Amino acid sequence: MVSDDPESFADLDGHDGWDFAFGVVNAFVSDFTGNGRKEASGPDINSGQALGDSIAVTVGIAGAVLGAVADATVDVGSGGTAVLVSAPAQVAVVALPAMGAIRGATNLLKNSNKESSGGTPRTEHGQERANEAKAGDTHRQVGDANRTIKEGRQFTDSETGNTVNVRGNKAVITDSKGNIVSQFKNSKANTQARIKSGRWVPQK
């Protein structure tokens, strides 16, 4: 949401904070369980997931180290006999947090690589539009498309079902998976006209 777009106000729907919190929890839990991660979810959830992955790495490493130290203490105190009795449990105490840390680090690296290559992934059509912008087509030049997705106001295109992200005179279209489909300069008058016609439906 941005103040320079007359059709938008900061966080009109109030969901940004909830999306971020969901992303944190979703990443943390999925890193340790290996299931349930929500992919290509939008900027707020993705930002939350980055924090959740970072927490998982920290907690996982700490858990693995503490588990290993505790195991060593038990082994020494029992003269080594405890190893025969509880070896599977001891392995689990170290392996589970270690796997959480590894998954968290892997997801952080994956997101870092995605951002270094331009951030939000594009469809083939979306890449063509980006290439046109680089080649000098001013109608396709929208600056940082990721910023428009993150800060712009969101609409649903009633004909395609895609999400229209509008920031000032810039529009970036994303599909249901969060991939950029198109981008173009868009006048405020055109935005208003599409809202009134029902083509672009404000997301709530």
Closest CA to 45 of 63, 68, 20: 20
Closest CA to 172 of 142, 195, 127: 142
Cα 202 to chain centroid distance, Å, stands at 22
pLDDT tens digit string along 155-201? 999 999 999 999 999 999 999 989 999 999 999 999 999 999 999 99
pLDDT tens digit string along 101-156? 888 888 887 776 555 445 678 888 988 998 898 899 999 999 888 889 989 999 99
Q: Average pLDDT, whole number, for the chain? A: 79
Q: pLDDT band at 66, cuts 50/70/90?
A: confident
- In this prediction the pTM is 0.47
3-state secondary structure 24-79: HHHHHHHHHHCCCCCCCCCHHHHHHHHHHHHHHHHHHHHHHHHHHHHHHHHHHHCC
CA–CA–CA angle 92, 61, 78 (5° rounding): 45
* C-alpha–C-alpha distance, residues 63 and 178, integer Å: 34
Share above pLDDT 70 across residues of the chain, in percent, rounded to a whole number: 74
